[in-house]
Structure 1
Amino acid sequence: MAENTEVVVVGGGYAGVTAANRLTQREDVRVTLVNTRPAFVERIRLHQLVAGSYDATTDYRQVLAERVRLVVDTVTRIDAAGRSVTLTDGGTLGYDYLVYAVGSGSAEPQVPGAALFSYPLASLEQAERLRPVLEAASASAPVTVVGAGPSGLETAAELAEEGRAVTLVCGGPLGPYLHARGRRSVARRLARLGVTVVDGPGTRVTEVTRDVVRLADGRELPSEVTVWTAGFGVPDLAARSGLAVDAEGRLLTDETLTSVDDLHIIAAGDSAAPSDLPFRMSCQAAGQLGAQAAETVLSRIAGRQPAPVNVVFAGQCISLGRGGGIFQFASRNDHANPLYVGGRAGAKLKEFVCKSTLKQLAGEARKPGGVTLGTQSLIKNTQRRDLLRTRHGSTPLTLP
């Protein structure tokens, strides 16, 4: 009987769980998922945890295949030459293949005072730290949310719907991904909730103190609680392990998501930089990249050439409190178009997406291989192909 192939998946978010589940298609593959927490975190609901409308965690056994072994620990180093990972307790796990799916988190803010006096909101622990701070503040206390991406919009709306006095500091345009029509819809919803939107030139934050947020145009905004949602970063595990990374610290891979340094290391999710041209950090991309990373591993085990990555985007879905939201449609190349669904219909669609994401993970756990991949779709990202040709001179699909 042939020996089992050992696969270690580092990171138990959307990409890591999808990859781990899909790898169980083969009976001779043994999968170990290493994650720092004992529960799956619904990161797209962290703003609800802060507001107290949802706990944002799910038991791993609801979304993880029975054959996947869960190790609650943190990987401190990857030994590519020895094909092993070191854990915080000093123990090691050997692997034949490793899926690098460590995700993303808050980037360390470079603005003076921000790290000391503001509260980031990109992880479960950060959300749990922020919630009691808000609960202790009076209902009339000024709350400033910095950042006008999805996290900032969702947090500002959620807190305003509770009756909080919220100011949203955009540092530029409101919802930069959105089409102008979608942006106007979001602005109307925030106005109805009472959110003060500070956007446009001069709204970059230059300093945060205990009770004031200062802007580039000289304005000073009173703030008893400052929530920082601007910017994301990735863990430095790959860089610390001597693997090639991009400027943001993502693992550099070819177009099959295979590390440029090692055929036995495959990346997925926010921490992957295929051909130094990463996809937008999102749950939407993470699931597809997790599935495709697993398929790359399975192809290599079977002696087949892995398929190049092909992520297909539908748009961006944002909740604006429990009573409103927006689904901003986009081209397959991830450019927002004039079409959107807003209001209560947008809120219902966002809730459907959140629930469907969990159902998809659970479905892949029960029936691995059930998720349709972008690589199997007739939709091909021609813009990505053109960008790769511009950057590299030819489309780099596989390693030499």
Structure 2
Amino acid sequence: MAESTDVVVIGGGYAGVMAANRLTQREDVTVTLINPRATFVHRIRLHQLVVGSHGAVVDYREVLGERVRLVVDTVVRIDAAGRSVTLAAGGTVGYDYLVYAVGSGSADPGVPGAAEFAYPIATFEEAGRLRPVLDAAPATAAVTVVGAGPTGIEIAAELAEAGRVVTLVCGGALGPYLHPRGRRSVAGRLAKLGVTVLQGPDMKVTAVTRDAVRLADGRELPSTVTVWTAGFGVPDLAVRSGLSTDALGRLLTDETLTSVDDVGIVAAGDSAAPSGVPLRMSCQAAMPLGARAADTVLSRIAGERPATLNQSFGAQCISLGRGAGIFQFANRSDVAVWFNIDGHLGARLKELVCMGIPKHLANEAGKPGSYSLHRMSGAARGQLLLQGERGERPAAAERSA
């Protein structure tokens, strides 16, 4: 009987589940998925969790293949030399190959008072902590959302649609990814919902107190509840394990997603930095990266040369409450173009995306190897690498759908 190959996947998000399911194509591969939660978190619905319109979780039995062993625990260290991971609950799990898909979370705000008085919503637990705080606040209480990216826009719209008095502080441009035409559409919808939008460098938050937000121009905005969505970080597991990372802590890999330190470790999702030029933090990138990471491992098991990353983007979608949204189209280099679909149809398209993601994962669980979006042709990756060499493209630190 052929010897089995043990693969450990760290992280049960979009990238990790996709990778784990895909790895079960081979009968001689055993797959262990290690995740700190017993349920799959549908992260792009966390803004809905805050207002109570969606639970933002899916049972792993709906998206994870039967041959994947789920271990509910946290990895505290990777021993690359010993080919094992250490668990928080004690003990170790050995591996022949490791998929590093630990995802992302809230970044250190670096603003006085923000860590103490503001509420981030990058994780399920954080969003869950914010909800009772809002429930306890009077309906007329001032709510300030800090951050102009998709997360900030979405939570501001959800809260305003629920009747809250919301100020969105951008500290720059509203929706910096968006094309100017799309930005105008989003601004119009927020205005209709009654959201006050503050843009520009003078609107940057310099301090947060229990009941106010201080701006760069010296003004103080009353704020009973402050929601912090400005930027995302990644877990420091790779750093603590002595592996090479970029400045944010993402695992440095080559274009096959293989760690620059160890051929037995591949990365996927928000925690990967291929060639030091990471993709936009999003489920749109995470699932194809998960599939690519699995293919790299399977190629190595088969003694074949892994294919390189060839990832293209097509759009960014943002919900603007339950009644509207925007589907912002982009070119293959992930630069927004003039065309978008907004309003009610934009909301329908965003909802179709949200509903489709668990279906993609479930399809891969039922028929491993069937997912193929990561194989779409395009020159986007080469262009991004060239821009990275020129220092033209900053590392993305904002999640989106």
Corresponding residue for 1:141? Answer: 141
> Given that residues 277 and 385 in structure 2 are in contact (C-alpha distance below 8 angstroms), is that contact kept between their aligned partners in structure 1?
no
| Aligned counterpart, 2:395 | none
Structure 2 CA distance, aligned partners of 1:204 and 1:104? 24
Tell me whether 1:86 sits opposite 2:70 in the alignment: no
1:196 and 1:387 map into 2 onto residues whose CA distance is 35
Query: Residue in 2 aligned with 1:232?
Result: 232
The amino acid that maps onto 1:86 is T
Cα root mean square deviation, aligned: 1.0
Work out the CA distance in 2 between the residues paired with 1:149 and 1:161: 18
> Which residue number in structure 2 is paired with residue 355 of structure 1?
355
Q: Indicate conservation of the 8 Å contact 1:327/1:349, yes or no.
A: yes
Q: Is the 8 A contact 1:32 1:71 kept in 2?
A: yes
Q: 1:385 to 1:218 in 2, by over 3 A?
A: closer
Q: How far apart are the structure 2 equivalents of 1:103 and 1:241?
A: 16
Unmatched runs of 5 consecutive residues or more in structure 1: 392-400
Sequence identity (%): 71
Partner of 1:12: 12
Residue matched to 1:117: 117
| Aligned mates of 1:387, 1:30 — CA distance in 2 | 39
For 1:67, the equivalent position in structure 2 comes to: 67
Unaligned runs of 5+ residues in structure 2 are 392-401
Letter of the structure 2 residue corresponding to residue 224 of structure 1: T
Match of 2:212 in 1: 212
**Structure 1 residue 389 displacement after superposition:** 6.2
SS state at 1:328 partner: strand
Contact persistence 2:120–2:228 (CA under 8 A): yes
CA distance in 1, matches of 2:384, 2:305: 21
The 8 Å contact of residues 292 and 373 in structure 1, kept in 2 or not, is answered as no
What amino acid is the match of 2:349? Answer: L
Alignment of 1:297 with 2:297, yes or no, is yes
Alignment of 1:196-211 (within 5 A): 196-211=196-211
Aligned equivalents of 2:158, 2:390: Cα separation in 1: 42
Matched residue type, 1:15: A
Residue identity opposite 2:301 in structure 1:
I
Equivalent residue letter for 2:324: G
Shift of 1:315: 1.3
Distance 1:245 1:37, change over 3 A: same
SS at match of 2:340: strand
Report deviation, 1:390.
5.3
Map of 1:96 onto structure 2: 96
Deviation of 1:388 (Å): 6.1
Residue 394 (structure 1) aligns with: none
Q: Is 1:267 equivalent to 2:267 in the alignment?
A: yes
- Note if contact 2:78-2:85 (Cα within 8 Å) is conserved in structure 1: yes
Q: Equivalences for 1:375-390 in 2 at 5 Å? A: 376-381=375-380, 382-387=382-387
Structure 1: how far apart are the matches of 2:44 and 2:256?
27
Instruction: Give the length in aligned residue pairs.
Output: 390
Structure 2 counterpart of 1:41: 41
Amino acid at match of 2:258: T
Q: Residues 275 and 388 of structure 1 are in contact (CA less than 8 Å); yes or no, is this contact kept in structure 2?
A: no
- Aligned partner of residue 202 in structure 1, secondary structure: helix
Where does residue 127 of structure 2 map in the other structure?
Answer: 127
For 1:387-398, list aligned pairs within 5 A. 387=387
TM-score by length of 2: 0.96
Cα deviation code 1:127-178 (max 9, x no counterpart): 1100000000010000000001000000000000000000000010000000
Contact 1:18 1:287 in 2 (8 A): yes
Cα distance in 2 for partners of 1:275, 1:325 equals 34
SS in 2 for 1:119: strand
